[in-house]
Amino acid sequence: MQVGVLALQGAFQEHQKMLADCGVKSLQVRKDLQLEDISALIIPGGESTTIGKLLQEYNLFKPIIRMAGKGLPIFGTCAGMIMLAQVINGSQQPRLGLMEICVDRNAFGRQVNSFEEDLNIPALGVEPFRAVFIRAPYVTDVSVNVEVLVRCDGKIVLVRQGKFLAAAFHPELTGDIRLHRYFIENCL
């Protein structure tokens, strides 16, 4: 088994390191045919408008949506969460739209307002999870099909809908592999 990491922009190498620490092989994904060789896909943080443009340039939009329809599990972090959202409040920018969530971009403030927070995420056990927020989005609305896994300051920042998982923060930056392991164990 290997997990693909969309490698067009952003912190894809850090995600690969986390997967390696979970004992899982990874593959940098830039071509549609590579989607056939992976058991799951991670969409890293970065800039969602840029990722959207690059997905179009690399002709990856339709292939990813098609594979998701066939059951490919996908984990989106930060900009990756925005790509997964059906609704991006106030924006028509391209997105995969696979999760029944509405998000606000840059919702916690600008870069200077990036912050870290210890979150209690019951799904990951009792140890708090250090979450790094960098110009992060949060979820403003979810459908009944979406499980809210944690809130920060009352805002929804981690959600799951079946095989899809989305985090507003950057779990690849702290060395805590529990969220990647959760994805592999529960969404695949």
* Count of residues touching ligand GLN (by CB under 6 A): 11
Among 45, 63, 76, 171, binds ligand GLN (CB under 6 A): 45
Q: Cβ 48 to ligand GLN, closest distance in Å?
A: 3
Residue from 78, 76, 73 nearest 105 by CA: 78
Beta carbons of 141 and 101 less than 8 angstroms apart = yes
Please report where in the chains the tokens 């056939």 appear, as a residue.
Answer: 36
User: Is 116 one of the catalytic residues?
Assistant: no
The yes or no reply on residue 157 touching ligand GLN (CB under 6 A) is: no
Rounded to 5°, the CA angle 171-177-179 comes to 60
In this chain, which stretch among 13-21, 74-82, 151-159, 174-182 interacts with ligand GLN, using CB under 6 A? 74-82
Measured CA to CA in angstroms, residue 50 lies from 47, 169, 188 at distances of: 5, 18, 28
User: Is 22 one of the catalytic residues?
Assistant: no
Q: Cβ 107 to ligand GLN, closest distance in Å?
A: 9
* Nearer to ligand GLN (CB atom), residue 50 or residue 145: 50
Which residue in 14, 152, 170, 180 is the catalytic one?
170
57 φ, ψ to 5°?
A: -60, -40
In this chain, which stretch among 12-20, 40-48, 139-147, 178-186 interacts with ligand GLN, using CB under 6 A? 40-48
The yes or no reply on residue 105 touching ligand GLN (CB under 6 A) is: yes
- Which of helix, strand or coil describes residue 180? helix
User: Is 78 one of the catalytic residues?
Assistant: yes
Amino acid letter at 47?
Answer: E
The yes or no reply on residue 78 touching ligand GLN (CB under 6 A) is: yes
**Chain centroid to CA 162:** 14
Cα–Cα distance between 168 and 129 in angstroms, integer? 13
The yes or no reply on residue 134 touching ligand GLN (CB under 6 A) is: yes
Residues at the interface with ligand GLN (CB under 6 A): 45-48, 78-79, 82, 105-106, 134-135
